[in-house]
Amino acid sequence: MKIEHLTLTHLSMPLVSPFETSFGRTTERECILVTIQSEELTGYGECVADRDPGYSYETTGTAWHILKDFIAPIILGQEINDAANFQRRVAGIRGHHLAKAGIEMALWDLRGKREGKSLRELFGGQRDRVAVGVSVGLQESPEALVQAVEKYLAKGYRRVKIKIKPGRDVDDASAVRQAFPELKLQVDANSAYTLETAQTLQPLDQLDLLLIEQPLFEDDIWDHQKLQRQFRTPICLDESILSARHARYAIEMDACRIINIKAGRVGGLSEAIAIHDLCRERSIPVWCGGMLETGVGRASNMALASLPNFSLPGDISASERYYHQDITNERFTLNADSTIDVPTGLGLGVTLDPAAVKKFSQGTIELTAE
């Protein structure tokens, strides 16, 4: 596929309700929509970098720079038929996984459209629906949190993740557990603790949680291993796992017993699949994390999560949990059994609503092969 034309669109989309984590509060979620044209076909990708460097050092600003000034010149006018070829070309660009992953997603979409297959088919995904949960941000108080959780349970979600931070952890989680004794419940700290301050989390071990996600530093594996030894509850790594190599280190060190896979964080869907495969061999369950994606990134997450070792419910909620208006014509809805259907159309299986893209656009740039 000759890469003829690349369009970047910086989007800012109002969330249905603010989303607060240990690193900050988001009311408008930013991202970069990637559009690639090749041989009469159009592929879409979503770069999940947000406005602020709270989750990752990458931002919409840094991703824009890397995409425009480094990745575009490498790929425009080139024959790129698969993800492996793309990754070889960008191997000289260190880091910037969120930027690279946005392009890789668009290349998968193109490839699916060219070969007449859905992403799920290209990946060898086995499920046609995926078990999902909801990630609930920090609320005003434990009581408000219980109410927020209750609202999602009423919608049919059967697995809940709550965000925690120092001072807002044991009481919040205990309140939810007390209100819903049977609920599949997990917590996510987004790196808000040190090995020392994480000692206050010890009571969480009695709450029958599915997992404790990323308690320590975003670049740590070693101290997580020490912490895992002190907890019965599985530790799950998110931020710390940037590649299949990191996943192997963490597994071999017993720094975690579960891994959250996000294609953006690891540099693309191909690396996400490699982590899935490694974890499958090593009997480590994985689940698909989320970055408040638009319909484009959500479709990609659904295809990824159709792979067999995604054995825990993903942070992939229905479109209405995030956006009143999305950029895709398709909206994802929750089935009664807390699952979402995997798209079956070609490639990602979604189409864009150009008026919505225009409405949320903060700026766009068109790059063409010379």
User: Which pair of structure tokens corresponds to residue 85?
Assistant: 């070829």
Using the rule CB under 5 A, give the single segment among 94-102, 161-169, 215-223, 232-240 that binds Mg ion.
232-240
Nearer to ligand OSB, 53 or 167 (CB): 53
Q: Which of 238, 271, 293, 326 is the binder for Mg ion (CB under 5 A)?
A: 238
Using the rule CB under 5 A, give the single segment among 147-155, 207-215, 227-235, 242-250 that binds Mg ion.
207-215
Point out the residue whose Cβ comes nearest to Mg ion: 238
Report whether 32 contacts 294 (CB < 8 A): no
Nearer to ligand OSB, 292 or 303 (CB): 292
Q: Which residues bind ligand OSB (CB under 6 A)?
A: 55, 135, 188, 190, 238, 289-292, 315, 317
Nearer to Mg ion, 7 or 311 (CB): 311
Residue 32 CA to residue 18 CA, distance in Å, equals 20
Q: Of Mg ion, ligand OSB, none, which one does residue 104 interact with (CB within 5 to 8 Å by kind)?
A: none
Nearer to ligand OSB, 32 or 36 (CB): 32
Burial class (CB in 10 A: 0-12, 13-18, 19+), 353: middle
Known active-site residue 163: yes
Using the rule CB under 5 A, give the single segment among 121-129, 146-154, 211-219, 264-272 that binds Mg ion.
211-219
Residue partners of 186: CB distance under 8 A and separation at least 6? 159, 160, 161, 162, 209, 210, 211, 212, 213, 236
Q: Of ligand OSB, Mg ion, none, which one does residue 169 interact with (CB within 5 to 8 Å by kind)?
A: none
* 188 touching Mg ion, by CB under 5 A: yes
Q: Least Å distance between CB 192 and Mg ion?
A: 11
Residue 81 CA to residue 263 CA, distance in Å, equals 19
Per-residue binding string, Mg ion, 278-297, x by CB under 5 A, is --------------------
Report whether 349 contacts 301 (CB < 8 A): no
Using the rule CB under 5 A, give the single segment among 41-49, 209-217, 226-234, 323-331 that binds Mg ion.
209-217
Q: Least Å distance between CB 213 and Mg ion?
A: 5
Nearer to ligand OSB, 30 or 188 (CB): 188
Using the rule CB under 5 A, give the single segment among 81-89, 181-189, 218-226, 346-354 that binds Mg ion.
181-189
User: Which pair of structure tokens corresponds to residue 239?
Assistant: 């931020």
Known active-site residue 113: no
Point out the residue whose Cβ comes nearest to ligand OSB: 290
Q: Least Å distance between CB 161 and ligand OSB?
A: 6
> Measured between alpha carbons, how far is residue 95 from residues 63, 100, 243 in Å?
11, 9, 10
> Measured between alpha carbons, how far is residue 269 from residues 101, 120, 150, 353, 362 in Å?
7, 12, 34, 24, 26
Per-residue buried b or exposed e for 170-204, using 16+ beta carbons within 10 Å of the residue's own CB: bebbebbbebeeebbbbbbbbbbbebeebeebeeb
Q: Least Å distance between CB 178 and ligand OSB?
A: 23
Q: Out of 163, 165, 184, 359, which one is annotated catalytic? A: 163
Q: Least Å distance between CB 307 and ligand OSB?
A: 18
Question: Which residues have a catalytic role annotated?
Answer: 163, 262
Q: Which residues bind Mg ion (CB under 5 A)?
A: 188, 213, 238
